[in-house]
Amino acid sequence: MRFNKQELTTLATQPSQKFDKEGVLFLRERQEGFFRRTERKDIKRGKRSKSLRELSCYSGTSKVSLERWCRLRGNLLFYFKSREQWSEPLGVIILEQCSIKVDTPTAEGPYGFRLVFEGGLSQHLAAYSEGERDAWLQAIQLASYDCMRSQLLVLQQRMELHRGQDPDLDVHMWRIRRGHTVDPCELPLCEISLACDNLLCDGHGRPPNPVLVVHVYFATDAVWIKYARTEVVEKSSNPGFLNTVTFRASDGLNGETRVRLTAYDVREHVSQTATPIGSSVVTLGAVLETDRLRIPLLSPAGTTVGFLTMTVWKLEPEDKGGSTESTPCRSAPDHDVAVICSHRRSQSLPPRLGTKLKLPHQGQLRLLFANPHMHTYCFHSGLGGDIYVHEVMAESRLCFLFPQQLLALWIQEEKELLQEVAGMGELHEPWHTRQVELLDRHLHLLHLYSQAKENLEAHKGTYFKPSSRKGDRMLEFAPVNLHLQRMWVQNDTLRKSGFYDIITVGAFTAHSHKSKNGGLIKLLQQLKESPSRTNETLQGPSKIRMAHDAIQAIKQLRREVVDGMRALMKLAKEKQTTGMLTICEDMISKVCGALKRWTLCDSIKMFWV
């Protein structure tokens, strides 16, 4: 970590009321501080300073602990040159990613404890009395960022419960508890685009960083549930949000459902610390009755702090254009209606009225994908009208099915190999030893494949293996992050729409085997880039160098064989026999060369084994 020395010095020398705790502590192993290294520099400069014997200290087996004046502020523990309160700052300890271990109590004292950091580093501290040590332990435990963050979350939950909201319940958890899955083909009640204007600035005239949070009230449970959230717009009093909100009848919403829209000013993006600007409550029926609704945002004191504009669309099913395909059409059907040319639209303008939004036809999406997550957006375009995006991210139902089928094939293959090797009967040495080794190897693989197949069959829940579980041996044959991202884009003014499907999957790598140094090719490349002195003194080519050259030669031969195949196919397509024999002879020689290289790699592999 990097620090500004002057800023830390200023922070360490502030008045006492700025600090959480102050006092004298024994610090073991005088460290190279951020402010001054040691007192020896003063001696070299001719200045008189206290020697180690003149300082109050106590010694252990091979270390010395010195008295230091310490000051705690947040997660920074400053320690000073001596036990005097007005001495010079010497260093700082950052109280993050560490645990506390208390020393075994002794009759004489002092009463010590140790700060153990991740990575093995530690710092020993001690106090004069047990009560003083316990006070420091309590202050240090409350000083970390994680502790402050957890306290903030607890306070936020209390505030949400006081307002009648469940802080741990959003619409996704609500659907899971009810066992409800969103159907991408469901026609929603409406879709709204949100914008604010005239939001108040702070006392310094700075505009807010607004974000809108939408809650709906479920009368059956008498609770407000977080239904949607927009993105954060940086430094704007008149933001237009790209995320739109879709209300669905399958969630139990109707015209009498109350909807609360709250605007927040995001002060800190990492922790998402935000302060409320204002809110407004409307019924869903009032939203459905109009195309555009502008309502005031009210502060907790009841004053108007800005305005909220909602543009409402009632979606229509997309016309499939007579297509009988199970997959959706990629181009919208032609219309005889003339294209409406409109002026260029800036980002501050609201969406156009009179736009007809279509609900994209998803075809047989539910047969291959499950657990969809949907988001909708509205982008302002200067090319005539606005662009509306319907995004679906879904899990593949084949994520755990294909690996099971692949393992079933491997299990059958191993069984056949076992029967073949066992059917050879008793063999003489050294073939008998080789036969036993093959039997053990195939039995071991058969056990591993069978266990992996059972683990995949026993898996319950989602059809998705996240990257956080890539090292899980229970799911090692399942692909990582396999999902569909489907985007349907519509421009009503230009009468154009289209689908964009992307299948994403992680690298097919044996993460569970925890290979930290990469494969053979990577190791050889690293060795080639940074040769050691030992390799330079060796006479003649080494095994590693030969392996590297063989791999590079195989790659080059493969490229040449592929080029020869393409040239041969081109001649065959053109029905020309001239030159075919020459190309075939050249390819035969290159394939033979590749086989020889491969035999060399096998011999090198046996060398490493």
Q: Outline where DSSP puts E strands in 5-63.
A: 21-28, 57-59
Most confident of 270-274, 356-360, 549-553, 577-581: 577-581
Could you tell me if residue 79 is inside a domain?
yes
pTM, full prediction: 0.56
Are 478 and 511 members of one domain? Answer: no
Q: Outline where DSSP puts E strands in 234-344.
A: 240-247, 258-268, 273-283, 292-298, 304-313, 316-317
Instruction: Return the SS3 of 104.
Output: coil
- How many domains would you assign to the chain? 5
Burial class, 170, CB count within 10 angstroms (exposed 0-12 / middle 13-18 / buried 19+): middle
**Residue 222's domain spans which residues?**
165-314
Query: What distance in Å separates the CA atoms of residue 305 and residue 300, rounded to the nearest whole number?
Result: 10
User: What's the whole-number mean pLDDT along residues 415-420?
Assistant: 89
Note the pLDDT of residue 150. 78
Average model confidence (pLDDT) across the chain: 78
Instruction: Kindly tell me if the per-residue pLDDT of 159 is higher than 50.
Output: yes
Instruction: Kindly tell me if the per-residue pLDDT of 239 is higher than 90.
Output: yes
Could you tell me if residue 155 is inside a domain?
no
Could you tell me if residue 160 is inside a domain?
no
Query: What distance in Å separates the CA atoms of residue 575 and residue 566, rounded to the nearest whole number?
Result: 14
Question: In degrees rounded to 5, what are phi and psi of residue 503?
Answer: -100, 120
Of 509, 601, 514, the C-alpha closest to 555 is 601
Note the pLDDT of residue 521. 67
Query: What distance in Å separates the CA atoms of residue 66 and residue 56, rounded to the nearest whole number?
Result: 6
How distant is the alpha carbon of residue 270 from its chain centre?
14
**Residue at which a domain ends, from 263, 289, 314:** 314
Could you tell me if residue 153 is inside a domain?
no
User: Which residues face 262 on adjacent strands?
Assistant: 213, 279
What's the pLDDT band for 11 if we cut at 50, 70, 90? Answer: confident
Are 202 and 306 members of one domain? Answer: yes
Per-residue pLDDT tens for 524-579? 677 777 655 444 444 445 666 776 777 777 778 878 888 888 888 888 888 888 88
Are 119 and 216 members of one domain? Answer: no
Most confident of 153-162, 171-180, 233-242: 233-242
Instruction: Kindly tell me if the per-residue pLDDT of 344 is higher than 70.
Output: no
Instruction: Kindly tell me if the per-residue pLDDT of 184 is higher than 60.
Output: yes
Per-residue pLDDT tens for 240-266? 999 999 999 888 898 899 999 999 999
Are 447 and 561 members of one domain? Answer: no
Q: Got the DSSP string for 265-288?
A: EEEETTTTEEEEEEEEEEEHHHHH
User: What's the whole-number mean pLDDT along residues 381-401?
Assistant: 84
Instruction: Kindly tell me if the per-residue pLDDT of 230 is higher than 80.
Output: yes
Could you tell me if residue 159 is inside a domain?
no
Are 384 and 430 members of one domain? Answer: no
Note the pLDDT of residue 350. 52
Are 368 and 260 members of one domain? Answer: no
What's the pLDDT band for 605 if we cut at 50, 70, 90? Answer: very low
Could you tell me if residue 148 is inside a domain?
no
User: Which residues face 389 on adjacent strands?
Assistant: 377, 489
The more confident residue out of 16 and 464 is 464
Note the pLDDT of residue 453. 93
Are 138 and 49 members of one domain? Answer: yes
Q: Tell me which DSSP letter residue 189 carries.
A: S
In a 13 Å sphere around the CA of 485, the CA atoms on its Cβ side amount to 7
Q: What is the CATH number of the domain that holds 97?
A: 2.30.29.30
Note the pLDDT of residue 471. 84
Could you tell me if residue 422 is inside a domain?
yes
**Residue at which a domain ends, from 298, 314, 330:** 314
What's the pLDDT band for 403 if we cut at 50, 70, 90? Answer: very high
The more confident residue out of 44 and 293 is 293
Are 502 and 525 members of one domain? Answer: no
Per-residue pLDDT tens for 33-46? 444 333 444 434 44
CB 228 within 8 A of CB 259: no
The more confident residue out of 597 and 594 is 594
CB 504 within 8 A of CB 465: no
Most confident of 16-30, 144-158, 399-413, 590-604: 399-413
Are 183 and 297 members of one domain? Answer: yes
User: What's the whole-number mean pLDDT along residues 149-173?
Assistant: 70
Note the pLDDT of residue 15. 84
Q: What is the CATH number of the domain that holds 234?
A: 2.60.40.150
User: What's the whole-number mean pLDDT along residues 48-74?
Assistant: 61
User: What's the whole-number mean pLDDT along residues 465-473?
Assistant: 88
Query: What distance in Å separates the CA atoms of residue 390 and residue 378, rounded to the nearest whole number?
Result: 9
Are 469 and 532 members of one domain? Answer: no
Could you tell me if residue 149 is inside a domain?
no
Instruction: Kindly tell me if the per-residue pLDDT of 170 is higher than 60.
Output: yes
Are 417 and 342 members of one domain? Answer: no
Percent of the chain past pLDDT 90, that is, above it, reads: 24
Query: Which amino acid is it at 87?
Result: S
**Residue at which a domain ends, from 474, 494, 515:** 515
Cβ neighbors of 276 (< 8 A, separation 6 or more) are: 262, 263, 264, 265, 300
Are 428 and 461 members of one domain? Answer: yes
What's the pLDDT band for 229 if we cut at 50, 70, 90? Answer: very high
